Amino acid sequence: MGNLPRHIAIIMDGNGRWATERGLKRVKGHEKGAETVRTITTYASRHPEIEVLTLYAFSTENWRRPKMEVDFLMRLLASYLKKETPTYIENGVRFETIGDISRFSDNLRRQIEETKEATKRCDRLTQVLALNYGSQDEIARAAAKLCAKGGEITVESLSRSLETARFGPVDILLRTGGEQRLSNFLLWQSAYAELFFTQTLWPDFTPEELETVIEAFKKRHRRFGGV
């Protein structure tokens, strides 16, 4: 039997280039990218094998971008969640986040909480948005929490203390946009993830291409260190 893609994580990259190639402002690429988020999430919600879809939306390093772009992304996120909450519910998608959102505006944090609350009983798919997320930050925070409790640091205790523990290990880690790097995303959780990279820019990514990745994943031989 093939592998089951229970947890898929995606580094949604290439929005800026998608727009620039068309002579548009980078932010137009983010708008188009948000539509892809909706399409891919809906597709995943109808896929019986996928339980968790984790999407990298804003990294701890993305604050280095021009203030105008960062502000646009924050507004886009708030309006996306407000507009899409009914779609989440319709498709049985529970909305969750990882990352430190304490730096976000009150309005955005309120919207995040509202969408979480409104979708908390949805059980066909969990969509996890990584917001102001950095894997090193997550691991450091987990270790600090364990130390503060006087706990011993082991692979098991640290795994359990990670913010992402409840979503389980990553089966497929996919990056769009052509770069072949992890950019501080789910480093611990991807220890045995199958990696996929595509040249397709995120706004052009389709459910058909995701299905191609899933089919390729099912044929891979995962050994987890065994023979």
Give the footprint of Mg ion on this chain (CB under 5 A).
Answer: 13
- When asked if residue 14 is in the footprint of ligand IPE (CB under 6 A), the reply is yes
CB 133 within 8 A of CB 58: yes
Residue nearest to ligand IPE (CB): 16
Closer to Mg ion by CB, 167 or 205: give it.
205
The pattern of x and - marking residues 105 through 124 that bind ligand IPE according to CB under 6 A reads: --------------------
Q: Annotated catalytic, 15? A: no
Tell me the residue length of the chain.
227
Binding residue for ligand IPE, selected from 72, 128, 177, 217, defined by CB under 6 A: 177
Out of 56, 72, 188, 217, which residue is the one contacting ligand IPE (CB under 6 A)? 56
CA-only gyration radius of the chain, Å: 17
| 129: enclosing H helix or E strand | strand 125-133
In 3D space, the residue among 100, 97, 182 whose CA is nearest the CA of residue 138 turns out to be 100
Q: How far is the CB of 112 from ligand IPE (least distance, A)?
A: 16
The encoded tokens of residue 93 equal 């998608």
Q: Which of 59, 115, 119, 161 binds ligand IPE (CB under 6 A)?
A: 59
Q: 91 an active-site residue?
A: no
174 forms beta bridges with 10, 196
Question: Which residues, 6 or more positions from 191, have their beta carbon under 8 angstroms from its beta carbon?
Answer: 169
Asked whether the beta carbons of 128 and 165 are under 8 A apart, the reply is: no
Among the listed residues 8, 9, 12, 172, the single contact to ligand IPE using CB under 6 A: 12
**C-beta separation of 84 from 127 below 8 A:** no
- Does the protein bind ligand IPE through residue 179 (CB under 6 A)? yes
73 binds ligand IPE (CB under 6 A): yes
Give the angle 57-62-63 at the CA atoms, nearest 5°: 125
Select 57 or 162, whichever has its Cβ closest to Mg ion.
57
Annotated active-site residue in 3, 62, 100, 137: 62
Tokens of 110: 């309120």
By CB under 6 A, residue 200 contacts ligand IPE: no
Residues that bind ligand IPE (CB under 6 A): 11-17, 56-59, 62, 73, 177, 179, 181, 183
Q: Which residues are catalytic?
A: 13, 62
